[in-house]
Structure 1
Amino acid sequence: MKEIEHWYDEKYDEWERLERHKIEFDITRRYMDEYITGENLDILDIGGGPGRYSIYLAEKGHRVSLLDLSKHNIKVAKEKSAERGISLEAYIHGNALELHKHEGAYDIVLLMGPLYHLIEESDRKAVVKEAVRLLKSNGIIFASFISNYAPIQDYLKGLCPIENIDDILIYLDNGENQGDKGFTIAYFTDYKEAKDLMNNFGLRERAFAGVENILGSKEKEINMLEESEYRKWLEICYQLSQDENLMGTSEHFLHIGRKNG
């Protein structure tokens, strides 16, 4: 955890990441708009980085608490929300594996970061179990995963020189990244494995999406389009996002589930 915290504190700008990856941000927000209904909801964003989604939802009038492992991300979240004239309910420096909150306290729980970084299956299960515990009956959970095809898609976007083919394909057999290949400690998952993980907790799956799907390898070109054309491609992406034939073309998966009442 210290290595991951150091990565986000000292080496990586998570706020700017979603400036570069507009497709991921816009498709995820589209799903939030579809499944987060009602007003003045209590929302907990676990591992929400500098609060991109927290701030978006707070601007809609919801009561949002942000928890993140990185002190730097929490600092940025405070600055960015102040710039927009809003304040989150809480800015919590904490560990997703060590939550101490009341059971059934939240209408919505976002788990859109921690599952990227937990190599041990037991830890991934523990985090999901705790997130579900914090949900009210019929509450909604959003959980994000990095696809084990993401390294391939990342190389394809820039047609980066390939030194060793096995370094790219290895994640299809073993999703573990030990932090020695340009990214911090991470776990890349098959979409069926991700679905199976979430199904362990009695959730009613509302949607499972391959976020970027066919747009992933053309991300830079798509981002440069004029707004009207960008929106057309984004709509195509959204309509294809639940097509299981295309799951491997995405860098991120998004599970949306409802807790049984």
Structure 2
Amino acid sequence: MDVVGHYSGGDENVRMALDRNRVEWDRTCELLARWLPAPPATVLDVGGGPGRQSRHLLDRGYDVTLFDLTPKHVDQATARGVRAHVADARQLPVDDTSADAVLLLGPLYHLPDAGDRARALAEAWRVLRPGGVAVVAALSRWGRVFVRAAAGQLGDPDRHRHTLATMRDGYVGAGDTWDEVAYLHDTHELAAELTAAGLHDVTVVGVEGPAGAWARRDPALNAHALELARIAEAAMAETSIHLLARGVKES
């Protein structure tokens, strides 16, 4: 897929600032605060987009460097005061064992090929110091059902057909509601991919929770959705739109 073309044509800054994405943002920040080592740890924000999360971490005392495939995003991040470079998650211009934490909050679902995802995770492992933490985001395969339900689309034959296909093979793309091809994980597969990359103590939780899809359509529900997401983060992880996983490089 043309990731650069996809993101160059839109504005990720605007998308993430919308109230409909507030639960995703708040929960991601909460989980990072729980999982990341204390500042001034060195953090690599790989696929960090226009730098909103990097700026958030910089303001909390972290030493952050952003890498993104899209030059527009790198320019936007630089304008925020973030140290940023154009780079591919599968081949980072970074020395071995040079980071305390690596964020992959965007790349994995833009890599439909399992080998490419493995290379991105292997790079995260390579650049982490022993004891370092990788935090990886994925789109939830089963969360698609909740997105359809919130949109009132469960009775639409075409939507139903696409949803069933996504559940079978994990792919969503042309012919569906998206103009890109993406890969959606379940919790077991995501954990297995981190483990195969050499990461230990892997944890996978849901981000937006079981009401997240409804809150995206009605931001008045954000506070309720956030509360449910915290309670159900493990037991109902796959009902979320996004999954977040943490793995540790063995000391």
| TM-score, normalised with respect to structure 2 | 0.90
Task: Quote the Cα distance in structure 1 between the aligned partners of 2:168 and 2:123.
Answer: 28
Aligned to 2:117: 124
The CA deviation at 1:171 is: 0.5
Partner of residue 168 from structure 1, selected from 163, 171, 179: 163
Counterpart of 1:213 in 2: which secondary structure? coil
RMSD of aligned Cα (Å): 2.0
Aligned to 2:250: 260
Contact 1:203–1:258 (8 Å) recurs in 2: yes
Shift in CA distance, 193/59, structure 1 to aligned 2, threshold 3 Å: same
Contact 1:145–1:189 (8 Å) recurs in 2: yes
Count of equivalent residues: 246
Contact 1:215–1:222 (8 Å) recurs in 2: no
Residues 1-261 of structure 1 aligned to structure 2 (within 5 Å) = 3-10=2-9, 12-18=10-16, 19=18, 20-79=20-79, 81=80, 87-88=81-82, 90-160=83-153, 162-164=156-158, 165-181=160-176, 182-205=178-201, 207-220=203-216, 223-224=219-220, 230=223, 233-243=225-235, 246-261=236-251
Percent identity between the two aligned chains: 27
State the one-letter code of the partner of 2:241: E
| TM-score, normalised with respect to structure 1 | 0.87
The CA deviation at 1:127 is: 0.7
Task: Quote the Cα distance in structure 1 between the aligned partners of 2:140 and 2:95.
Answer: 32
More displaced 10-residue stretch of structure 1: 108-117 or 90-99: 90-99
Structure 1 segments (4+ residues) deviating >4 Å: none
The one-character-per-residue Cα deviations of 1:18-50 (angstroms, maximum 9, x if unpaired) are 233111111111011112232211110011111
Counterpart of 1:143 in 2: which secondary structure? strand
The CA deviation at 1:174 is: 1.1
Q: Which ranges of structure 1 fall in alignment gaps of 5 or more residues?
A: 82-86
Q: Which ranges of structure 2 fall in alignment gaps of 5 or more residues?
A: none
